[in-house]
Copies of this chain bind each other. A is one copy, B any other.
């Protein structure tokens, strides 16, 4: 505390890393690429989980739990899947340690070698489809709508807290359907569910879209995504939903008897959102003073800081505050009354600013005399004096208004950072000078996509799902294009 954060304008990346650590969200551990999610960060994640979980359940999904380990042979069953995941996985080869004979310590027991190596799940399609084969016999067993909350491991070489870590937490949905249109409908439904969650709860505007072939999930026919824009003009993929066709059903031989008694392969989807959302949340709203949290996801929505000299004054304030705290809690608002005598009010103000608590009340001797509170809002950093009998209504208003305001602010930023260009030169200029999403025509070829990526580091984030498709000519090759796509540099 007390230490100022690096300014975003000076070094955005450094600002982010400092903020994550200083606001007690997460930190690096002694294990390469694996983070520790600290209580305050985890409390935000729990709020995200609770909301997503309830939305999954409302749309008919059930939670289950599948093994952490995947036999190596399972991973190999779907060809493009293994190609996508084999390069970055943690492999368990032994199941016992023992004392070294030379007394040098504990070593892996060479006699305890597994016959078949186990992969720590990078994603669970293979183990789940091996299970679905036992669960699905008839059309009566469909649709099968399963979700899992779990940890997964992808051995990333360059890691960043929340954004890219070797181990991360996520949910992964896996569904099986009788028909292709039903599976496509499910994959799209989840894209919209993710998008609504991002916008309504994270206050983070997103673009719904479809990935190009090169950016698709390994094993998918179509990958739907939501793409957000960070304050440094870089895009962040915040959730993906895949239509898997019959690829995994064929790889794991999952057939069902139709009403007519025919045996057919089932159609599949999978979809996931992870602790990466934490990184997106932090980068979308926060400022040089610290975290800015949307009230709907803030573990502490209102903090009350007493300003007093001596225990007697504190007791008077505490008595006054007590019914207010109770009333707010009754309304489902989470309140913290910070009566610690180990820290001064100024220190506390900074701390809650850093931690992004949406509303702060301060109350001192003079407020008691005047029957008022000082109410500060985190998003605009403005303060006002509010009569005590109006404070509950004020707080309710502010929690709604802050949620709306930070969404609007992020939306304004995003909307002014979608730039249409019609030439590759203009593309390069806009990408470097302005950043954000660049909307341009592309000929649909992997070659052109790669050329642009190699030359500019921009990737195609998505083909937007909504809006009219406008045909044109590729900005690089001049070949025909069906629709504009969105390019950006990305996390």
Chain A residues close to B by CB (< 8 Å): 27, 29-31, 34-39, 42-43, 46, 62-76, 82, 86-98, 105-106, 108, 117-120, 127, 130-131, 134, 140, 146, 150-151, 153, 155, 167, 169, 342
Contact = CB atoms under 8 A, between A and B. Distances in A.
Contacts of A127: 29-31
A27 B134 contact: yes
Contact of A146 (B39, B64, B94): B39
A150 B37 CA distance: 13
B29 A167 contact: no
Contacts of A134: 27
Contacts of A105: 73, 76
A108 B95 contact: no
A73 B127 CA distance: 31
Contacts of A117: 108
Contacts of A150: 151
B96 A89 contact: yes
B31 A71 contact: yes
Given A89-B97, A90-B95, A68 B30 contact: no
Contact of A140 (B35, B64, B95, B342): B342
B39 A62 contact: yes
A46 B63 CA distance: 9
A106 B93 contact: no
Nearest to A138: B342
A160 to B, nearest CB: 16
Nearest to A45: B65
A330 to B, nearest CB: 17
A155 B86 contact: no
A62 B86 contact: no
A96 B106 contact: no
Given A31-B67, A97-B87, A62 B82 contact: no
11 contacts: A29-B131, A30-B74, A30-B127, A30-B130, A31-B67, A35-B67, A43-B62, A68-B167, A86-B98, A91-B95, A96-B155
A38 B140 CA distance: 17
A113 to B, nearest CB: 10
A31 B88 contact: no
A36 B63 contact: no
A433 to B, nearest CB: 39
B82 A106 contact: yes
Contact of A66 (B29, B66, B89): B29
A37 B62 contact: no
A97 B62 CA distance: 33
